[in-house]
Amino acid sequence: MSSIKIESENGFTNLLKRVEQLEISDLEKFVENVLKIRARKIAPSLSKEESALLKKINKPLPKKMQDRFEVLNKKRQLETLTESEHQELIEITKKFETLNVVRLKALADLSKIRQLPVRDLMKQLGILPKAA
């Protein structure tokens, strides 16, 4: 591969002039490497810790459990809930609360890593606080 020396003065212009002198095979290799560098800068990779925290934050509630919660909650609102259904609703609610605690802790941990207030991190991630 051809070598390219970059001078400090007018480095970019000098670089372009040197790149222009490359043979096509070397130019293609150069462009491929430049694109890899660009991709890394545009979408830097996350650390394992950040990835794990984002998985916790984005973990969806189990669909089956969510559906059952909605059915039982509707019955509660209509005051047609049996005692066993009431207990089931309480258990599902506890599970949801536990999942939300895990999410909130992960948000707090990620906000520390990124040195952002939690609200700013939530805005950055597109997470809206739920209306009461």
Residue 115 included in any domain: yes
Same domain, 60 and 101: yes
**Tokens 């609200």 correspond to what residue?**
119
- With beta carbons less than 8 A apart as the criterion, state whether 49 and 113 touch: yes
* Per-residue pLDDT at 57 exceeds 70: yes
Residue 37 included in any domain: yes
pLDDT tens digits, residue range 87-107? 999 999 999 999 999 999 999
Mean pLDDT of 56-84: 93
- With beta carbons less than 8 A apart as the criterion, state whether 129 and 122 touch: yes
Domain that holds residue 20: 11-42
**pLDDT recorded at residue 76:** 96
Residue 132 included in any domain: no
Same domain, 57 and 77: yes
- Alpha-carbon distance 111 to 81, whole Å? 41
| DSSP secondary structure letters along 78-92 | TT---HHHHHHHHHH
Residue 61 included in any domain: yes
Number of domains in the chain: 2
Q: Which two tokens stand for residue 1?
A: 């591969």
What band does 8 get if pLDDT is binned at 50, 70 and 90? Answer: low
Same domain, 54 and 106: yes
